[in-house]
Chain A
């Protein structure tokens, strides 16, 4: 096991904190991200329907295969166009 020495004042947890979810989805665009597993699309169809019922904006994204991490262009597109992401992990 190798390690680096922490250059900070060590006042925050050593594990990186997750980005806080938004307090409300009102006015935000939610990305629905299909990771390429079987029936991901069905799951996202349902999520999309539910969010639309609440009057929320959604956009669909997908990566070509679940065997690889998402291409940089796809991640940049999500970061540019959406404020929150739902990732479909269903099988």
Chain B
């Protein structure tokens, strides 16, 4: 009721233009017809809903968050809220969404390229810190799948902002050859329930207990299965066999990757006293191969490294090219690999971005 009265008397505080509905219009269909959706139904952005969404942030509706590629249109907090309504967010998700958008707009995230590429990538959102629990994000069973409202809608809202405010639509500025289901949304929280594990946010320079959002340019999800290995060294080498396949087994130093380590796989490392640093180092080393095994032209396959690298030990990744995150349900010796965008040849030009979430 309060929101209804607010919409009636304060609705005029909103400045986004009104799209009037004729008496017989179905608001859901109007959203489709106007091209505001990613192909799935959206929640029609009425004044009441937009005002309720704006109550989730202390930031002024008129504040400009940034310019959204590809067409570099200014995006206000109000526009973020309207797209959050479309996506199905709750007001309390707004601080996460605003931080995710700001992270995506950091030049080193190269959002324009991520959108425009023919490759599979889109922003992947990883949330750390107390806010994840406060808003009910999923980090356990099916963390990368469907069913959790916060996971599903925060990632979706970010992609809808690029579509609606930035004008980034498939077949126009978005040139993806095939795309990926993760372009709808891929957003989850890290499982921080085990105090022996250093959270991603802390590894990336933030104090424990600070809520952050990390954005990664990639797609998902590739399965990694190893139900037999019981030593950390063996498990790392086993991961390596899957990690070198990203893009193509002979493509090197171009894509980053996120490894989503499940509880059962982590237990093997933990029991051996291994933490984040040991695991990341071992995974990196497990993906270094003799150049002569991955030369271009071997077996008639064009992909590969140049002949002058035959005697080198060639790493798959840059030294900072792997991020390990913990998530997943308690059962299953499965982990996941989220392959990164292949445009990472110059690692200083293209990086994941972490930002603090301010409530």
What residues of chain A have their CB less than 8 Å away from a CB belonging to chain B?
A: 1-11, 14, 16
Contact = CB atoms under 8 A, between A and B. Distances in A.
Given A4-B19, A9-B166, A14-B17, 4 more contacts: A4-B27, A4-B46, A7-B164, A9-B73
Interface of B: 14, 16-21, 27, 30-31, 33-34, 36, 44-47, 50, 68, 71, 73-75, 79, 82-83, 86, 160, 164-167
B167 A6 contact: no
Contacts of A7: 16, 36, 45, 79, 82-83, 86, 160, 164-165
A2 B31 CA distance: 14
Contacts of A8: 36, 164-165, 167
B164 A4 contact: no
Interface SS of chain A: helix, strand, loop or mixed?
loop
Nearest to B75: A9
A16 B35 CA distance: 10
Nearest to B37: A7
B235 to A, nearest CB: 46
Contacts of B18: 3-6
B305 to A, nearest CB: 44
Given A8-B165, A9-B166, A11-B71, A2 B45 contact: no
A16 B33 CA distance: 9
A9 B71 contact: yes
A6 B71 contact: no
A5 B74 contact: no
Contact of B82 (A3, A5, A16): A5
Nearest to A2: B21
B47 A5 contact: yes
A1 B50 CA distance: 18
B74 A9 contact: yes
A17 to B, nearest CB: 11
A50 B30 CA distance: 38
Nearest to B18: A3
Nearest first, the 10 A-B pairs at minimum CB distance are: A9-B73, A3-B18, A5-B16, A7-B82, A7-B164, A5-B45, A3-B20, A8-B164, A6-B17, A4-B19
A8 B168 CA distance: 11
A1 B11 CA distance: 14
Contacts of B164: 7-9
A4 B30 CA distance: 9
A11 B75 CA distance: 12
A5 to B, nearest CB: 4
A64 to B, nearest CB: 22
A69 to B, nearest CB: 12
Nearest to B87: A7
A8 B19 CA distance: 11
A8 B42 CA distance: 14
A31 to B, nearest CB: 22
A10 to B, nearest CB: 6
A5 B46 contact: yes
B12 to A, nearest CB: 12
Contacts of A4: 18-19, 21, 27, 30-31, 44-46
Contacts of A16: 33-34
Contacts of A1: 20-21
